[in-house]
Chains A and B, each alone.
Chain A
Amino acid sequence: MRVVISSNCMTGGLTSALSLLLPAAKFDPIPYVGVNETVLDEQLAVSEAWLLSGPEGLQSATLGRVNKPNLRVIRFPDLYFNAFHPDQVYAWMRDGSTVDCATGPYNSAIALWAWQHGLNAQQTISLFTPEVFGALGYHDRWQVSIDRLRHDFVPFPHLDYRDFIIPLQRAGNFMHTVNHPKVAAMAQMARLLAKQIDPTVDTESIPVENMMVDGLFMASVSWSVYPSVANALGIKGAFMWKLEDHSVIGLEEFLQRSFAKYDVQQPHDVDCHELLWPIYDEVLLPIANGGK
Chain B
Amino acid sequence: MSHPYRGLPSHQFWNTGVTQAPPGALDPMTSAKFQIQPGDQVATMGSCFAQHISRHLVKRGLSYFIAEQGNPNDSDETNSARNYGVFSARYGNVYTVRQGIQLIDRAFGEFSPSEQVWETVNGYVDPYRPQIEPKPWDSPEQVVQSRDEHLEAVRRIFLESDVLVFTLGLTETFISKTDGSVFPVAPGVSGGSYSDDQYAFINFGVSEVIADLQIFIAKARKLNPNLRIILTVSPVPLIATFEPRHVLVSTTISKATLRVAADEITKLYPFVEYFPSYEIISGSAIGAPYFEPDLRQVRQVGVDHVMRIFEKHMLQSTSNSSNFVPDTAPVVSQPRNVVCDEETIMNTLNASGLPANDH
By a beta-carbon cutoff of 8 Å, the part of chain A in contact with chain B is: 8-9, 11-13, 15-16, 29-31, 33-36, 39, 54-55, 78, 80, 90, 92, 96, 98, 105, 131, 134-137, 139-144, 146-148, 151-152, 166, 169-170, 172, 179-180, 212-213, 215-216, 218-220, 230-236, 273-274, 277, 279, 283
Q: Establish whether residues B301 and A231, one from each chain, have CB atoms under 8 Å apart when the complex forms.
A: yes
Query: Which residues of the other chain, B, contact A146 by a CB distance below 8 angstroms?
Result: 22
- What is the size category of the interface that chain B forms with chain A? 35 or more
**Complex: A219 Cα to B25 Cα, angstroms:** 33
Query: Which residues of the other chain, B, contact A30 by a CB distance below 8 angstroms?
Result: 359
**Complex: A230 Cα to B287 Cα, angstroms:** 18
**Complex: A2 Cα to B22 Cα, angstroms:** 39
Does B330 touch A at the CB level, under 8 Å? Answer: yes
Query: Which residues of the other chain, B, contact A220 by a CB distance below 8 angstroms?
Result: 340, 344, 347-348
Does B351 touch A at the CB level, under 8 Å? Answer: yes
Query: Which residues of the other chain, B, contact A141 by a CB distance below 8 angstroms?
Result: 326
Of B83-91, B251-259, B331-339, the one with at least 4 CB within 8 A of chain A: B331-339
Q: Establish whether residues A215 and B351, one from each chain, have CB atoms under 8 Å apart when the complex forms.
A: yes
A152-B324 contact, Cβ under 8 Å, with A12-B351, A13-B352, A235-B301: no
Q: Establish whether residues B345 and A151, one from each chain, have CB atoms under 8 Å apart when the complex forms.
A: no
Q: Establish whether residues A9 and B290, one from each chain, have CB atoms under 8 Å apart when the complex forms.
A: no
A179-B338 contact, Cβ under 8 Å, with A9-B344, A213-B352: yes
Query: Which residues of the other chain, B, contact A166 by a CB distance below 8 angstroms?
Result: 19-20
**Complex: A166 Cα to B18 Cα, angstroms:** 11
B22, B329, B342, B347: the one contacting A142 at CB < 8 Å is B22
**Complex: A78 Cα to B340 Cα, angstroms:** 11
Query: Which residues of the other chain, A, contact B319 by a CB distance below 8 angstroms?
Result: 134
By a beta-carbon cutoff of 8 Å, the part of chain B in contact with chain A is: 19-20, 22-25, 286-287, 289-290, 301-302, 304-305, 308, 319-326, 328-330, 333-342, 344-356, 358-359
**Complex: A26 Cα to B25 Cα, angstroms:** 42
Q: Establish whether residues B23 and A234, one from each chain, have CB atoms under 8 Å apart when the complex forms.
A: yes
A11-B345 contact, Cβ under 8 Å, with A29-B359, A134-B319, A274-B333: yes
A233-B24 contact, Cβ under 8 Å, with A33-B339, A135-B322: yes
Query: Which residues of the other chain, B, contact A35 by a CB distance below 8 angstroms?
Result: 359
Q: Establish whether residues B290 and A234, one from each chain, have CB atoms under 8 Å apart when the complex forms.
A: yes
A33, A148, A213: the one contacting B353 at CB < 8 Å is A213
Query: Which residues of the other chain, A, contact B354 by a CB distance below 8 angstroms?
Result: 12, 15-16, 29, 215
A234-B321 contact, Cβ under 8 Å, with A11-B349, A31-B349: no
Min CB distance B352 to A, Å, is: 4
**Complex: A22 Cα to B351 Cα, angstroms:** 21
Q: Establish whether residues A219 and B23, one from each chain, have CB atoms under 8 Å apart when the complex forms.
A: no
Q: A33-B342, A134-B321 are in contact. List 11 more A-B contacts (CB 8 A).
A: A31-B346, A54-B339, A143-B22, A144-B325, A151-B330, A213-B352, A219-B348, A232-B24, A232-B25, A236-B301, A279-B324
Q: Establish whether residues B340 and A33, one from each chain, have CB atoms under 8 Å apart when the complex forms.
A: yes
Q: Establish whether residues B328 and A33, one from each chain, have CB atoms under 8 Å apart when the complex forms.
A: no
Query: Which residues of the other chain, A, contact B308 by a CB distance below 8 angstroms?
Result: 232
Q: Establish whether residues A170 and B328, one from each chain, have CB atoms under 8 Å apart when the complex forms.
A: no
Min CB distance B95 to A, Å, is: 28
A105, A219, A234: the one contacting B351 at CB < 8 Å is A219
Q: Establish whether residues B334 and A33, one from each chain, have CB atoms under 8 Å apart when the complex forms.
A: no
**Complex: A179 Cα to B334 Cα, angstroms:** 12
Min CB distance A117 to B, Å, is: 19
Q: Establish whether residues B342 and A31, one from each chain, have CB atoms under 8 Å apart when the complex forms.
A: yes
Query: Which residues of the other chain, A, contact B353 by a CB distance below 8 angstroms?
Result: 16, 213
**Complex: A78 Cα to B339 Cα, angstroms:** 9
Min CB distance B309 to A, Å, is: 12
Q: Establish whether residues A12 and B24, one from each chain, have CB atoms under 8 Å apart when the complex forms.
A: no
Give the most central of B328, B335, B348, B355: most A CB within 10 Å: B348
CB<8 Å pairs between A and B, sample of 29: A8-B339, A9-B344, A12-B354, A15-B354, A16-B353, A29-B354, A34-B359, A39-B359, A54-B339, A80-B330, A131-B320, A134-B321, A137-B322, A137-B326, A140-B322, A144-B326, A151-B328, A151-B329, A152-B330, A172-B289, A212-B352, A213-B351, A216-B348, A218-B347, A218-B348, A232-B25, A234-B305, A277-B326, A279-B324
B289, B304, B335, B345: the one contacting A273 at CB < 8 Å is B335
**Complex: A274 Cα to B280 Cα, angstroms:** 34
Min CB distance B207 to A, Å, is: 37
**Complex: A139 Cα to B323 Cα, angstroms:** 10
Q: Establish whether residues B336 and A219, one from each chain, have CB atoms under 8 Å apart when the complex forms.
A: no
Query: Which residues of the other chain, A, contact B345 by a CB distance below 8 angstroms?
Result: 8-9, 11-12, 31, 33-34
Q: Establish whether residues B352 and A16, one from each chain, have CB atoms under 8 Å apart when the complex forms.
A: yes
**Complex: A169 Cα to B26 Cα, angstroms:** 12
Query: Which residues of the other chain, B, contact A277 by a CB distance below 8 angstroms?
Result: 324, 326
B287, B302, B334: the one contacting A80 at CB < 8 Å is B334
Q: Establish whether residues A140 and B321, one from each chain, have CB atoms under 8 Å apart when the complex forms.
A: yes
Min CB distance A226 to B, Å, is: 13
Q: Establish whether residues A231 and B304, one from each chain, have CB atoms under 8 Å apart when the complex forms.
A: yes
Query: Which residues of the other chain, B, contact A151 by a CB distance below 8 angstroms?
Result: 328-330
**Complex: A90 Cα to B308 Cα, angstroms:** 31
B289, B321, B333, B355: the one contacting A139 at CB < 8 Å is B321
**Complex: A200 Cα to B190 Cα, angstroms:** 61
**Complex: A218 Cα to B327 Cα, angstroms:** 32
Query: Which residues of the other chain, A, contact B24 by a CB distance below 8 angstroms?
Result: 142, 231-235
Give the most central of B321, B325, B355, B359: most A CB within 10 Å: B359
Query: Which residues of the other chain, B, contact A273 by a CB distance below 8 angstroms?
Result: 333-335
Please give me the residue from chain A that is nearest to B321 by CB atom: A134
**Complex: A78 Cα to B278 Cα, angstroms:** 39
**Complex: A140 Cα to B340 Cα, angstroms:** 27
Query: Which residues of the other chain, B, contact A148 by a CB distance below 8 angstroms?
Result: 328-330, 333
Q: Establish whether residues A33 and B320, one from each chain, have CB atoms under 8 Å apart when the complex forms.
A: no
Q: Establish whether residues B322 and A136, one from each chain, have CB atoms under 8 Å apart when the complex forms.
A: yes
**Complex: A34 Cα to B345 Cα, angstroms:** 10
